[in-house]
Chains A and B, each alone.
Chain A
Amino acid sequence: MPQLIPFFFLNQLFYGFLTLFILLILVSKIILPYILKLNIVRSIIVKF
């Protein structure tokens, strides 16, 4: 099983960390603020 062969550990880890980092940037800068903006606008609409 390639994931358990020592020669490939660092390669796997590097690409795993890179994927997580890209996801972190995407979620914290684009996706979550978009959802938050929607919720704020909706609560303002409901109030008035």
Chain B
Amino acid sequence: MKFLGSKVYRYPVFKTYWPFFVGAVATYYLIGKAQSAMENSEQYINDPRHPRFRRGEKDQK
């Protein structure tokens, strides 16, 4: 098989690097949790980009 003129060799990417893929999923999940916590803090709760305004909620005091 060729890609832009160069041969593509078969290499077991998943078999070699599976711990890093597991780490990436774990990082994504944890950053998502951190993002939710930061979004709902006092500093960003009334930011117009907050997703809760798309659901129709109003400004908090």
Contact = CB atoms under 8 A, between A and B. Distances in A.
Contact of B38 (A6, A17, A24, A30): A6
Interface of A is mostly: helix
A14 B28 contact: yes
Interface residues of B, number: 23
Interface residues of A, number: 15
A9 B39 CA distance: 11
Interface of B: 3, 6-11, 13, 17, 24, 27-28, 31-32, 34-35, 38-39, 44, 47, 49-51
Interface of A: 5-7, 9-10, 13-14, 17, 24-25, 28-30, 33-34
